[in-house]
Structure 1
Amino acid sequence: MELNIDLHPAQLAIFNSEARFKIVSAGRRFGKSRLAAWLLLIKALQSDSKDVFYVGPTFQQAKDIMWHTLKELGREVIESTYENTAQMTLVNGRKIFLKGSDRPDTLRGVGLAYVVLDEYASMKPVVWEQIIRPTLADVRGGALFIGTPAGKNHFYDLYQNAETDPEWESFTYNSTDNPYIPSDEIEMARNSMSTMAYRQEFEASFESFTGGIFKEEWFATGEEPSTGQYVIAVDPAGFEAVEKERGLKGSKLDETAIAIVKINEDKWWVKDILHGRWSIKETASKILKAAITVEASTVGIETGSLKNAIMPYLQDEMRTTNQFIHIDELRHGGKKKTERITWSLQGRMEHGQITFNRDRDWKVFKSQMIDFPNHLAHDDLLDALSYIDQVSIADFAHSIELEEDWEPYDEVSGY
């Protein structure tokens, strides 16, 4: 039985490395998952007694990324598969298990011949240090860490340490090291993403997303475009009556922000970002009034308890006025607020894709933009505006009547 291991030159360099532990920092679409699949199959076939694990950030992500690829590449050596648990048995009796790092208890108590940790930057360091590493001791098993950088975190530290340890080897490859990626796709990404985001996502550079994320010269005003459609994104904050009961001072409170934006192809024209500390009823009234005034096609509200508090009042307002608007639920996509704002706005502002209504006072927005990220400063207006990418994508999906379980994804913002 012969396996046809088809890898491009950069993948082969990693595959053929004799290091026990390999760390691969590579750009998007480099082919990390295909490389991982081949290593999982080969290591399982070579093992006399121990099985192998593929660990993703979550079980569902692990299955989405790896299950089909493993079945396709290993069809000649797979004896049986179990779809629900995402495990397969090879012809030599060894098993490959797909796991999620978010369920650490499922990773304990076994000895392993090999493990792949995919998108290690998104996992907690304890997964490797206290759970996975001890499972490799019995047979001196190995590991492959793969991922795209996410700032200078534990993935960066591990990468740096690997360069001085003889049992470890680290690799860095750009997306362009995959010869099968069309060059025009790379160029399109370069022209639409911020310089920092492009370096991280396509050149696998460990970028530190702190300080100077937005430049003042990127802020531009302009006239309202003649074409396009309005959408609204709402980032609710703690409501005034509730916060007074908690005894919080006004200067410490976040504000609810309502971003009103006209979308024209890939350009945003920001008409206004209403902001303030209002009661729940006031907030609902302001959302409906803003949507009706500009005839917004979609209003997105950040999911959570605050949205749940707003909705009954908003529905009452709509019934009372007999004016109804389409509401979408906005999610943070597993990203921290700093990452979400950066990915949504930095590239667009750098490339002049966002302009602001010249008839409004943007002093508060510009102050938040220049201070960002600073845990001592507010970022409510930035946060509301960052959600517009989700609203615009969801609005497009709504307009062409996609299935209800469709999940928006934007290559620029990462959603």
Structure 2
Amino acid sequence: MVIPLSIRAAAELEIRRRRTEELKRINGDSETIRERLGMPQLHPAQIRMLAESRRYNVASCGRRFGKTFLSADVLLDGPRKKGALHGYPVALYAPTYQTMLESWRNLVYLLKPITSQKSEQNKRIDLNTGGCIEFWSLDNPDAGRGRKYATVVIDEAAMIKRLEESWSQNIQPLLLDYQGEAWIVSTPKGDNFFKTLFDYGHAANPARDDQWQSWQIPTWENPHINREDIERMRSSMPRLAFMQEIEAQFVTFAGTFIKAEHLHSGQPPEGMTLYQGVDLAISMKENADYTAIVTVGVDKNTGRVWIVDAERRRVGFRDALDFIQSKAERWRPESIAIEVVQYQAAVVEELLRSTDLPVRQVRPDKDKLTRAQGLITRYENGLVWHAETLPQEFINELLSFGPDCEHDDMVDAAVYGYMMTGDYGKTLFILPKNPETEVMQKRQAMVERGMPGLPDGVMGILEKQPTESEVCGNCTAFNSETKLCEERHVKVRAHDPGCSLFVEAEG
């Protein structure tokens, strides 16, 4: 059923139509303008989506599918010619101000040849076609209230915390005047309101609303993405993460990252080089997080990652120092990785000042789930084994690890320890050339410190022998000011062995 426009909207539409016809004679039609702007050609999957579209459109897309270009095309042109190139007011909504800014900057640059004016303060671009684009952040669910639009795009909708409120009480009513259309696009993120909107138009839904259309489009539908890279990601990412991020499937992560069948236990082999991860939480309050220390090693003969020891305590500043020192004395780790944020920096500074412990600072630049992916993948592949003496509380944390878990201190510490092993993101250690010199010197130093030597099998399974210059500090990932490896996010000391991430200055 076609709903008639209001008298005012109909009058505005007629004025807009006449103005658009006049501007067409000046600027050319939308295809001419697209060529003038240098807009990229849509790929086949995007073209198919435009052809199948309805009034309300929900696209669950894999990463790098091409959501940005599709959204720009819809806002400017659109399948029903209700874009800004045709004289209409349109809007783009983003989860946060920061993500909205990226879209704003991209379109300001793209549309410069046909922009009549723009407002940095109001984030509005007026085009000489008579149309305009406004940009809003849904940090405020009422953003744009009182406007009227012919087309809206809601970008990364699954990330919007109050999407149901924003859509039902604000955005959908803004489309009434022009019988406007909406495109709600995102990579999925669990069973949230974006999934509810997706179900409205899903072909498998027996109660499907005929005004809605939904698509589930994996990353590989973009022909510009290398399929071999995708297959490598399939083998390196946790199964559920790949299903969500690449296949664009709706999956629930909480409590399902690591399952009981992924767990194996036994007697750790002797001779492993050990590493420790520390997750600090300095507080004696009963509801506070724990300070956790986990000791990790890699058996180079089998490729197994071993969790040798795990413990957590609620401690204050001085007790945290004692806790770290006692664990270091017990296991003699090659490196101790400690997350450095806020007050944790004081603990690291004190350890470096008052002890000779091999402390390395870790600056997390990713969320905990992303950081844990490498270790989770190895659990799924049966490559992580536990010492039989590990406490049950560590097992409980692993099996409940997810976005909403109450405690994840020991899992975080295990990830930091694993990052130090050299197996983080790759398979084997890469040691310096000339084992009779550098490696033997390193082994002797370890023996003098009371640590076990390197396993004899290491030298026989190395896949590559770097040149003598291939040590940390000679790699382009090394930041000479911070003394950090910017690939592995760890502190680098003189003569540390290079790794398979090594990149020479010449490229």
Query: Normalised by the size of structure 1, how large is the TM-score?
Result: 0.76
Match of 1:193 among 221, 233, 237: 237
1:413 corresponds to which residue?
none
1:107 aligns to what SS in structure 2? coil
**1:217 matched to 2:261:** yes
Name the CA distance, whole Å, in 2 between partners of 1:364 and 1:139.
58
Alignment of 1:12-411 (within 5 A): 12-42=47-77, 43-48=82-87, 51-64=89-102, 66-67=103-104, 69-71=106-108, 73-74=110-111, 76-80=113-117, 86-104=123-141, 106-123=143-160, 124-125=162-163, 126-163=165-202, 164-220=208-264, 223=269, 230=275, 232-236=277-281, 239-240=283-284, 243=285, 248=286, 254-261=289-296, 269-287=306-324, 293-296=332-335, 298-301=337-340, 303=341, 307-308=342-343, 310-312=344-346, 315-321=349-355, 325-330=359-364, 333=367, 343=373, 345-352=375-382, 354-356=384-386, 358=387, 360-372=389-401, 378-386=407-415, 400-401=478-479
CA contact (8 A) 2:254 2:400 kept: no
Structure with a larger share of its residues in helix:
1
2:46 corresponds to which residue?
11
Name the CA distance, whole Å, in 1 between partners of 2:403 and 2:289.
14
Name the CA distance, whole Å, in 2 between partners of 1:297 and 1:109.
56
Instruction: Please report how far the alpha carbon of residue 174 of structure 1 lies from its aligned counterpart in structure 2 after TM superposition.
Output: 1.4
Name the CA distance, whole Å, in 2 between partners of 1:407 and 1:84.
36
Letter of the 2:48 partner, please give it.
A
Q: How many residues align?
A: 387
Could you list the per-position Cα deviations for residues 211-257 of structure 1 after superposition, in whole angstroms to 9, with x for gaps in the alignment? 44322332346547867x94634142x622xx2xxxx5xxx765321
Name the CA distance, whole Å, in 2 between partners of 1:131 and 1:225.
63
Name the CA distance, whole Å, in 1 between partners of 2:382 and 2:116.
55
Name the CA distance, whole Å, in 1 between partners of 2:149 and 2:271.
60
Letter of the 2:97 partner, please give it.
F
Query: Normalised by the size of structure 2, how large is the TM-score?
Result: 0.64
Pair 387,158 (structure 1): closer, same or farther in 2 beyond 3 Å: farther
Could you list the per-position Cα deviations for residues 5-33 of structure 1 after superposition, in whole angstroms to 9, with x for gaps in the alignment? 61111101222344111100111121111
Name the CA distance, whole Å, in 2 between partners of 1:102 and 1:368.
32
Pair 377,137 (structure 1): closer, same or farther in 2 beyond 3 Å: closer
1:28 aligns to what SS in structure 2? coil
Instruction: Please report how far the alpha carbon of residue 193 of structure 1 lies from its aligned counterpart in structure 2 after TM superposition.
Output: 1.3
Higher RCO, 1 vs 2 (CA within 8 Å, ≥6 residues apart): 1
Name the CA distance, whole Å, in 2 between partners of 1:90 and 1:219.
60
Bigger Rg, which one: 2
Pair 81,387 (structure 1): closer, same or farther in 2 beyond 3 Å: farther
CA contact (8 A) 2:336 2:358 kept: no
Q: Any gaps of 5 or more consecutive residues in structure 1?
A: 411-415
Name the CA distance, whole Å, in 2 between partners of 1:344 and 1:57.
28
Could you list the per-position Cα deviations for residues 351-399 of structure 1 after superposition, in whole angstroms to 9, with x for gaps in the alignment? 345454x475254322332355697975432243345688889x99996
Pair 281,120 (structure 1): closer, same or farther in 2 beyond 3 Å: same
CA contact (8 A) 1:234 1:256 kept: yes
Letter of the 1:169 partner, please give it.
Q
Q: Any gaps of 5 or more consecutive residues in structure 2?
A: 1-27, 203-207, 425-471, 490-507
Letter of the 1:382 partner, please give it.
V
CA contact (8 A) 1:291 1:325 kept: no
1:370 aligns to what SS in structure 2? helix
Name the CA distance, whole Å, in 2 between partners of 1:97 and 1:264.
57
1:189 aligns to what SS in structure 2? helix
CA contact (8 A) 1:22 1:170 kept: yes
